[in-house]
């Protein structure tokens, strides 16, 4: 079964997503980029409130969009976010000359880091395998740009399946995100990642608008349905949302 990761920006959205069945609550600020970071005080406040109501529901938070060579800033932010009370700290890493060293640094930090490999500019087997070999709790594949293209516009399903297999063989939880919507549901289900992450597909009017708990519930149902099952409307999409809702 694929768990739904709902990206939220406030305590109200976090509670709505949790009540609607999202298995993982992910804290980020969509106005500040693909992995925009909330203020540390806001992360701590939301995490504290969620723990009180949902003590076993995992919480992740992004550190913000930073270049891979900003090693000091990344390390400081990772520790601050971790100390704010989340389970996983998400850090975006794009392919490039500084990527390998950044991954090495993340593996040595006293925090549970989930590298988010950003595939817009391409990704390669070597970096994926190296990341998986360092023993991270999880590895995600995502896109940095939210301009309407999806993860599958940058990476084909067979390649993604190979990358997920490489990471799983090392014991990592694997996830995908990146403008995912109803048009990609069957591809998501075919890959069967441990986690699928969404923002825009869960919102009423684009990723910067408010999260809609009804959409969260519909996506939870779709991801949990056995392969080959049909939606409530008799087809592979959730009723009433069409193919345009994307992260």
Say which residues have a Cβ less than 8 Å from residue 48's Cβ, sequence separation at least 6.
85
- The span from the CA of 144 to the CA of 94, in Å, is 8
Backbone angles phi, psi at 145, to 5 degrees: -90, 135
For residue 175, name the pLDDT band (cuts at 50, 70, 90).
very high
Q: What is the pLDDT of residue 240?
A: 42
Summarised one tens digit per residue, pLDDT across range 119-161 is 998 999 999 999 999 999 999 999 998 777 999 999 999 999 9
Fold topology of 3-224: TIM Barrel (3.20.20)
- pLDDT > 50? residue 233: no
Domains of the chain, by residue range, sit at 3-224
Summarised one tens digit per residue, pLDDT across range 23-56 is 999 999 999 988 999 999 999 999 999 999 999 9
Which of 8, 24, 59, 90 is an active site residue? 90
Q: What is the pLDDT of residue 121?
A: 84
Entry pTM: 0.92
- pLDDT > 50? residue 247: no
Which of 4, 24, 28, 217 is an active site residue? 28
Is 28 known to be catalytic? Answer: yes
- The span from the CA of 34 to the CA of 173, in Å, is 21
Q: Are 165 and 214 in contact (CB under 8 A)?
A: no
For residue 226, name the pLDDT band (cuts at 50, 70, 90).
confident
Identify which of 42, 208, 28 has the alpha carbon closest to the alpha carbon of residue 116: 28
């Amino acid at each position: 079964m694929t768990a739904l990761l709902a990206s939220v920006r406030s305590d109200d959205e976090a509670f709505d997503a949790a009540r609607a069945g999202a298995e993982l609550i992910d804290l980020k600020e969509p106005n500040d980029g693909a992995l925009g970071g909330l203020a540390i005080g806001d992360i701590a406040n939301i995490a504290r409130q969620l723990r009180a109501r949902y003590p076993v529901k995992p919480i992740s938070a992004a550190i913000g969009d930073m270049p891979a060579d900003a090693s000091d800033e990344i390390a400081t932010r990772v520790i601050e976010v971790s100390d704010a009370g989340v389970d996983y700290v998400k850090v975006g890493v794009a392919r490039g000359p500084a990527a390998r060293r950044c991954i090495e640094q993340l593996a040595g930090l006293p925090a549970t880091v989930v590298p988010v490999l950003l595939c817009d500019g391409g990704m390669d087997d070597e970096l994926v395998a190296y990341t998986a070999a360092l023993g991270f709790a999880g590895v995600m594949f995502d896109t940095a740009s939210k301009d309407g293209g999806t993860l599958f516009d940058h990476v084909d399903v067979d390649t993604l399946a190979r990358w997920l297999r490489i990471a799983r063989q090392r014991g990592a939880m694997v996830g995908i995100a990146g403008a995912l919507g109803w048009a990609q549901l069957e591809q998501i289900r075919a890959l069967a990642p441990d986690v699928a992450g969404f923002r825009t597909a869960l919102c009423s009017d684009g990723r910067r608008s408010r999260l809609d708990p009804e959409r969260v519930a519909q996506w939870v149902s779709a991801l949990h349905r056995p392969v080959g099952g049909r939606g409530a409307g008799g087809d592979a999409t959730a009723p009433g949302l069409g193919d345009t809702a994307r992260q």
